[in-house]
Amino acid sequence: MARLYKYQQDFKEIAIKKMRNKFFFAEIPTGAGKSVISADIAETFAKQGKKVIISTTTNQLAKEIADLLANKNPKISFDDAITSSLSIGKNNYFNIDKFDDDVKSLFINVNQLNEYLRQIENKAGYWYLFDTLFENVEIGEDNKQIVKNLTMEDEKRKPYMTDIGECDISVTNHSYLLFKTYNESFNINDYIVIFDEAHAILESAEAALTSSFSVFRLKNLSDMLLKKLVGKKERGYLSAVNNLFYIRKVCKRIINKYSNSKCVGEYYSKTNVVGLAIIRELAELLDRPELKRVEKFVKALSFPVSNLFISEVLELHTLKTKQSDVRIYCSPLKGYPTLHFLKKNIARELFFKFWNKLDGCLGMSATLTAGDDAAGRNYVYYRLGFKVKTQDASMSIMKKVRDKEHTVYIMRRIFKKEQSSIILCKKSYPAPVIKKEGMESKINPKWTEESAKIIIKTYSGENTLVINGSFEEVDLIANNLKEHGIDNVIVAERGKSSYLKVKEFKNKGRILIGTRNYGTGIDLPGKELTKLYITKLPFPVMNSRRFLDIREKSKSQGFFIAKREMILNLRQYIGRLIRTEKDKGEIYILDSRLWDPKYYHIVKETLSNYGIIKNKLI
C-alpha cells in the first residue's frame, strides 16, 4: 500500500465511506496526487475481494496509473499479491506484421517509422499502442485513422492485452469503458468504479458517438486501391479503375476548393454555404450508378484496404440521409473538409446507458466546479452529463438516478498562494482580435507585437511556457520574438506531437510556445517551468460542435457555458506552473478582456485563489 500524506489519507477515508452506493465527486487540486489516491483506494477495495475499475481520459494517463500499481515508481509500493493491468481493448494496439509498404507510405518519414519498428521488436505492451507510435513517428492527422484500421490487432494474442475484469484492478480509458457499458452484456455494477479526470466523461461520450466521413481518406483509399489494381485482368477491372480515378478527381476537387487552413480543428455552422456545397457535391457523387459498380467490384477483392473503402462509402451513404444533422469539420492539420454526424442528446444517452447502470462511484478532477457561486458549484452536473431534459415516459428512470445521493467534495488547495505572483495587463492593452461588422474576425497584429515585447522585457533565462489559442497566434508571436533576437524558442507545429515538443523543452529548457493543448496534462515541476504567459483568456473553441449546437438553441446559455468553461480552462492552465510545495513562479495574463465587467469578478476571484495578484500592471 502506498504511503499517503495526511491530506490524502483523510480524503481516502471520506471517499471510501461516501462512494458506497452513492455518487461521490471530488475536486482535487493540481499536485495533490489524484493518481496515487485512486490507486491506493483501488488496492483497499481489491484486498476486500472486490473487482475495481480505474478510468481516466487517455491511454497515457491510464498507463501511468497502471505503472504505479505495478511498482514501477521506486518511491511508491503496492501489494504484489493484488493483480492489475492496463485494460484498454485490443483495438488500441497495432500488429507490427501488418506494416506493409502501403501502410508505410502514409507516414511523413518512412525512415523514422522503420527505425521505431526496429527498436520495439523485443519490447511489449505500451510500445505497441497507437498513442506511442504517433508520439514517436510523424504522420498526418488525416492518415491516422487509415493506419489504425489497417494495422490494429484483430485478436487478443499478447499477454499484455488484458480486458476489464481479468485482474483485481483494471485501468482503462473513458471511451473504452463507455463502449463496454453501452453493451448490455457488461455489468458495470459488478465493479467498484473510480474516475480520474471525471469532467471529461461527457466529451468522451461525444467522441465515441460521432460518425465521420473524410474526403481526404476516400481519396487516399482510392489511391491505394489503384496501386493494388495494377496488372489485374478481372472482369470489370477497367470500369473500376476509371471510376476510381473519377472518385479521386472529385475528392481532390473538393479538397482543393474547400480546405481551410485558418479553420483547422473547427466546425462550420449549420447554415454555412461552404458546408452545404460540400454535401451537395458529395451527394452527386453518390448518385452516380458507376459508384455502385465500383463498390461491387471492390467488395469482391481480398485487400484489407477494400473493406476500408467500402466502409467509407457506406459512411457517406449514411450521412447523406442525415444531412440536417451533419456538420463540416476542418481537419486538424490542413483543414481538409470532413463530415461529422453526432447523435442527438449525447448527455441523455450517457445518462440512461451509463450513469443509470451505476449505483455509485468515485469521480475526481482538478476542475469540476466553475466558481464559488451556486451556479458554479452546480455546473459539475452539466459537465458530467447529469442534467438531462427528457419526456414523461422516462421520468421513472430519471427519478431513480436523481434519488441516489450525490455529493460534491472540494479539497482545499495544498499549495500556498504566495508561491505564484500574478501580473495582469493594463486595460489599454491591445485586444487579441479585431472585429468589424460584416467582416471575418482576425488576430490583432498590435496584440501579438505587444505580447512579444512583454515576454522579451520580462524573460530572464528561466524555463518559460507561452500558451496561445491557435497555431496562427503561435507562429505570429514566435516570429515577433525571433525578429527581436530571441531565437531560443520551441514552437508548437501542426501535425507534430505535443509530447515530443514538451520532451524537447524538458531536455533543453528555453521558451516553449504552444496552443491550448499545452494548457493541460503537462507536468513541469521545479525549475522545468518558472514563468507562464497566458496570452488569451481560454474560452472554449466556439466553432466546436457542442458550442455551435448550444449557441444555435440559446445564445444566453451559450454565453453562460462559455464563461464557465473559460474559468475551468484558466485553472487548468495555471496548474501547469505550481506542481510541488517548493515551486515558485510568475503568471502573466495578456488579455485585456479580463477587465470587461462580464468577466472581471469571476476571473479575479479565480486568480486570487491561485496566487498573489500584483498591483503593478504591464
In the three-class reduction of DSSP (H, G, I as helix; E, B as strand; rest coil), residue 267 is classed as strand
Q: Residue 377's pLDDT is what? A: 73
Q: CA-CA distance, 339 to 285, in Å (whole number)?
A: 15
Task: Give yes or no for residue 390 having a pLDDT over 60.
Answer: no
Report residue 418 as a C-alpha cell.
504566495
In the three-class reduction of DSSP (H, G, I as helix; E, B as strand; rest coil), residue 342 is classed as strand
286 — pLDDT class (breaks 50, 70, 90)? confident
Residue 182 burial (10 A CB sphere; 0-12, 13-18, 19+) = middle
Q: Residue 288's pLDDT is what? A: 77
Task: Give yes or no for residue 214 having a pLDDT over 80.
Answer: yes
Virtual CA dihedral for 526, 528, 531, 535, nearest 10 degrees? -130
The class of domain 6-87+164-208+346-410 in CATH terms is alpha beta
Distances (CA, A) of 522 to 69, 338, 505: 21, 29, 11
Evaluate whether 173 touches 88 at the Cβ level (below 8 Å). yes
435 — pLDDT class (breaks 50, 70, 90)? confident
Task: Give yes or no for residue 220 having a pLDDT over 60.
Answer: yes
The pLDDT tens digits of the residues spanning 456-504 come to: 999 988 999 999 988 889 999 999 999 988 888 999 988 777 888 998 9
Report which of residues 540 and 534 the model is more confident about: 534
Q: CA-CA distance, 525 to 531, in Å (whole number)?
A: 12
- Return the percentage of the chain with pLDDT > 90, whole number: 36
Highest mean pLDDT among 227-231, 273-277, 410-414, 581-585: 581-585
Task: Give yes or no for residue 180 having a pLDDT over 50.
Answer: yes
Domain residue ranges in the chain: 6-87+164-208+346-410, 90-160, 210-342, 417-613
Residue 252 has φ and ψ, to the nearest 5°, of: -65, -40
Instruction: Give me the mean pLDDT over the 571-589 stretch.
Output: 91
Q: CA-CA distance, 293 to 310, in Å (whole number)?
A: 12
Highest mean pLDDT among 91-95, 324-328, 342-346, 388-392: 91-95
In the three-class reduction of DSSP (H, G, I as helix; E, B as strand; rest coil), residue 491 is classed as strand
Task: Give yes or no for residue 550 having a pLDDT over 80.
Answer: no
Evaluate whether 411 touches 8 at the Cβ level (below 8 Å). no
208: left (phi over 0), alpha (psi -120 to 50) or beta: alpha
Instruction: Give me the mean pLDDT over the 346-368 stretch.
Output: 86
**Beta-bridge partners for 364:** 26, 196
Task: Give yes or no for residue 524 having a pLDDT over 80.
Answer: yes
The pLDDT tens digits of the residues spanning 22-50 come to: 889 999 988 888 999 999 999 999 999 99
Task: Detail the DSSP E strand segments found in 8-74.
Answer: 23-27, 52-56
Task: Give yes or no for residue 507 having a pLDDT over 70.
Answer: yes
Q: Residue 133's pLDDT is what? A: 92
396 — pLDDT class (breaks 50, 70, 90)? very low
The pairing of beta strand 464-467 with beta strand 511-514: parallel
392 — pLDDT class (breaks 50, 70, 90)? very low
**Beta-bridge partners for 589:** 424, 534
Task: Give yes or no for residue 437 having a pLDDT over 80.
Answer: no
Instruction: Give me the mean pLDDT over the 525-552 stretch.
Output: 84
298 — pLDDT class (breaks 50, 70, 90)? confident
4 — pLDDT class (breaks 50, 70, 90)? confident
Q: Residue 551's pLDDT is what? A: 73
Task: Give yes or no for residue 393 having a pLDDT over 50.
Answer: no
Q: CA-CA distance, 528 to 505, in Å (whole number)?
A: 8
Residue 247 burial (10 A CB sphere; 0-12, 13-18, 19+) = buried
Q: Residue 145's pLDDT is what? A: 87
Q: Which of 295-309, 387-401, 512-526 has the lowest mean pLDDT?
A: 387-401
| Cα–Cα nearest to 19, from 297, 396, 406 | 406
553 — pLDDT class (breaks 50, 70, 90)? confident
446 — pLDDT class (breaks 50, 70, 90)? very high
The pLDDT tens digits of the residues spanning 105-129 come to: 888 889 999 999 999 887 877 789 9
The answer to whether 6-87+164-208+346-410 and 417-613 have equal CATH topology is yes
Q: CA-CA distance, 342 to 472, in Å (whole number)?
A: 28
Q: Residue 262's pLDDT is what? A: 72
Q: Residue 395's pLDDT is what? A: 46
**Placement of cell 431534459 in the chain:** 389
CB under 8 Å to 597, separation ≥6 — which residues? none
Q: CA-CA distance, 77 to 187, in Å (whole number)?
A: 31
455 — pLDDT class (breaks 50, 70, 90)? very high
Per-residue DSSP letter, 605? H
Evaluate whether 444 touches 603 at the Cβ level (below 8 Å). no
In the three-class reduction of DSSP (H, G, I as helix; E, B as strand; rest coil), residue 75 is classed as coil
Cα 345 from chain centre: 20
State the fold for domain 417-613: Rossmann fold (3.40.50)
Instruction: Give me the mean pLDDT over the 508-525 stretch.
Output: 90
Convert 529-598 into a string of H (helix), E (strand) and C (coil).
Answer: CCEEEECCCCCCCCCCHHHHHHHHHCHHHHHHHHHHHHHHHHHHHHCCCCCCCCCCEEEEECCHHHHCCC
Highest mean pLDDT among 182-191, 273-282, 451-460: 451-460
Task: Give yes or no for residue 360 having a pLDDT over 90.
Answer: no
Task: Give yes or no for residue 242 having a pLDDT over 80.
Answer: yes
Per-residue DSSP letter, 442? E
Instruction: Give me the mean pLDDT over the 278-282 stretch.
Output: 79
Q: Residue 403's pLDDT is what? A: 54
- Return the percentage of the chain with pLDDT > 70, whole number: 90
What's the one-letter identity of residue 270?
K
Task: Give yes or no for residue 3 having a pLDDT over 80.
Answer: no
